[in-house]
Structure 1
Amino acid sequence: MDRSLHPRSRRVAPLAAVAAAALLAAGCSSSSGGKRAEEEGADVSAGKANTPRMTVAMVTHAAPGDTFWDTIRKGAQAAAAKDNIKLVYSSDPNAGNQANLVQNAIDQKVDGIAVTLAKASAMKDVVAKARHAGIPVVGFNAGVDDWKKQGLLEYFGQDETVAGEAFGKRLNDLGAKHDICVIQEQGHVALEARCAGVKQAFKGKTDILYVNGTDMPSVKSTITAKLKQDSSIDYVATLGAPFALTAVQSVSDAGSKAKVGTFDLNKDLVSAVKAGDIQFAVDQQPYLQGYLSVDALWLEKNNGNFSGGGEAPVLTGPAFVDKTNVDTIAKFAAKGTR
């Protein structure tokens, strides 16, 4: 994995030692159904904590069918199994509904909450209620510019602007001249920041293309139409693995010579990189985000620990995956942890 990237100094925080523990934990099975499910840690697990049972709520903005969140959930489950935690996972892409899920967690008097801040303003009041109730809250994945403002203990994820800039610089290195940056949810702060970063660093032309991420046939047709309309487009930048794989189909349907690069991974995406259908991916290590978020709440409760000194986020990316290192990543992706 390419570790040569050095995000802006104001963003840098060393990964806590607890990150190493992720390698020792194994994912546990979970129940499913609807937007909410309880995840029970395994009865027997190597190195399982003997601390009192905790309940942690993880509330995300995940859209149905987005496999990216399966990886985050696996990381959270692994930490829960190790730490003797009952994990209650729920999600809703609608910001108001997500806020209601956080309120439900407060009403249940959970011991900690891990939350994403994709629409930070909509979460502000309910996060404040959690803090007022004495429930520690950590952020992850989305909200790197808002977690401190809202008084969260810690944040685990990547700086999306830095990741976008790294993507743009990679396009420069590859000699690209004109890209489209495909945003699957308009107004999502992390996604908007990625494309803004690409546009800032890329020396060529960047067009922003909004698509409906919950309707993949529409995503495919919208990208195809754009490529047919403008033959000068030589790169498609997508912001998630499923959209990258769809973009490959769009390139073919449009008879375009454009190449595809993306943010985020899944098993099929790794295979596409190996095959040369996708040139590279920016990995933010979602398994690590899920794992550290849950483990951080256990550490805070049992030892008063918090990472980053409460001042800086714990960065889990960006790192590039391409043909030079994809074989190493593939063995982890096969287990669903990358």
Structure 2
Amino acid sequence: MNNPPPPQASPRFVRTAVLAAALCLLLAGCSGSGGSGDTGADGADGADSGGTKVVLITHGGHGDSFWDLVQRGARAAAAKDGLDLTYASDPDPAEQAQLVRDAVDDRVDGIAVTLAKPQAMKGPVAEAKAAGIPVVGLNSGIDAWRSQGLLEFFGQDESLAGRGVGERLNAVKAKHALCVIHERGNVALEARCAGVKKTFSGRTEMLYVEGTDLDAVDAAVTAQLRQDPSIDEVVTLGAQFALTAVKAVKASGSRAKVATFDLDKNLIKAVRDGDVQFAVDQQPYLQGYLAVDALWLYRTNGNVSGGGVAPVLTGRAFVNKANVASIARFAAAGTR
């Protein structure tokens, strides 16, 4: 089936040019090392995808290094497959929903989307399906993607990851954990802290903060630690918040330890130095890569990972002082 002529992109989108095969080599993940290594933008695998437009739409906020990793993975897959990739994001659920509608209006060939606020995305995802546009999910929405009719999902089982954290806190004999939620109502973040509470034998307390203001996060965590010296563990849900929590622990005079979900190159150093006990890496680069590659596989070969009934899990991968050295070089390259 021939695709219709590419329409003009909506002004809400920033068009990302498909990376050249040489640039792909710099992204440390599409070099084909250890694999066939023969695919590229000008190879046979990309030839059938010329002009194919896909959009990655997330709830990520500006300046969050986590979403930089997701984008890098997505762009590496787009370069390999010869896709025309657009990235767009908005932390406001109504605005993110509008971005999906804009993509439908633009008659794109595939959409990858996060479902941090699933109810807000239900309508626009249905509109995409009605328009014949394949939609896959990533990162957030592991409990909602099937009911909303997405083809596939790539991410971490957040409840399972949270339970793993609770078990590790038991192992270090922690007694009182403060779980810091930086976005109220985000189903993935809520599931993480709920998972911690489920397996942790001590007390789990939730602290809601405004994640777009790190100074406010610092002040809130510092105040809580000063108010309650029994808190001996701070669990954050993002790398930058872990580093902020480390500062808060020092400022408050608390003896609490810090553990976190998610990873970046700055957190690697904190784990290596012992400032952060461990991190749960859901491998965001892999999420972006697999989501975009899945759209190409579906369009070119009808493949559906997980058979449309099971998610493809990219985490949980625990990173601590014992294994951080093996991860550090990938983090330095911007892919972990």
| Stretches of structure 2 lacking an aligned partner (at least 5 in a row) | 1-10, 23-37, 41-45
SS of residue paired to 1:225: helix
Counterpart selection for 1:51 from 48, 51, 62: 48
Q: 1:35 to 1:172 in 2, by over 3 A?
A: farther
In the aligned structure 1, how far is the partner of 2:330 from the partner of 2:119?
36
Q: Which amino acid aligns with 1:50?
A: A
Alpha-carbon RMSD across the aligned residues, in angstroms, is 1.1
Q: 1:335 to 1:36 in 2, by over 3 A?
A: farther
In the aligned structure 1, how far is the partner of 2:116 from the partner of 2:182?
13
Q: Is the 8 A contact 1:35 1:92 kept in 2?
A: no
Deviations 1:149-181 (A, max 9, x none): 000000000110000000100100111110100
Paired residue for 2:18? 41
Paired residue for 1:137? 135
Structure with greater Cα Rg: 2
In the aligned structure 1, how far is the partner of 2:243 from the partner of 2:233?
14
Counterpart selection for 2:223 from 220, 225, 241: 225
Counterpart selection for 2:174 from 148, 173, 176: 176
In the aligned structure 2, how far is the partner of 1:204 from the partner of 1:227?
17
In the aligned structure 1, how far is the partner of 2:203 from the partner of 2:114?
31
Q: TM-score, normalised by structure 2?
A: 0.89
Paired residue for 1:29? none
In the aligned structure 1, how far is the partner of 2:106 from the partner of 2:247?
45
Q: TM-score, normalised by structure 1?
A: 0.89
In the aligned structure 2, how far is the partner of 1:335 from the partner of 1:205?
38
Q: How does 1:300-311 map to 2 (within 5 A)?
A: 300-311=298-309
Q: Is the 8 A contact 2:137 2:154 kept in 1?
A: yes
| Stretches of structure 1 lacking an aligned partner (at least 5 in a row) | 1-33
In the aligned structure 1, how far is the partner of 2:139 from the partner of 2:21?
30
Paired residue for 2:249? 251
Paired residue for 1:87? 85
Paired residue for 2:64? 66
Q: Which amino acid aligns with 1:47?
A: T
Aligned residues: 305
SS of residue paired to 1:40: coil
Q: Which amino acid aligns with 1:82?
A: K
In the aligned structure 2, how far is the partner of 1:134 from the partner of 1:306?
16
Deviations 1:169-214 (A, max 9, x none): 0100111110100000011000000000000110000000000000
Q: Is the 8 A contact 2:177 2:234 kept in 1?
A: yes
Q: Which has the higher contact order (CA 8 A, sep 6+)?
A: 1
Q: In percent, how many aligned pairs have the same letter?
A: 59
Q: How does 1:102-113 map to 2 (within 5 A)?
A: 102-113=100-111
Paired residue for 2:147? 149
Paired residue for 1:333? 331
Deviations 1:45-66 (A, max 9, x none): 5621222321100000001111
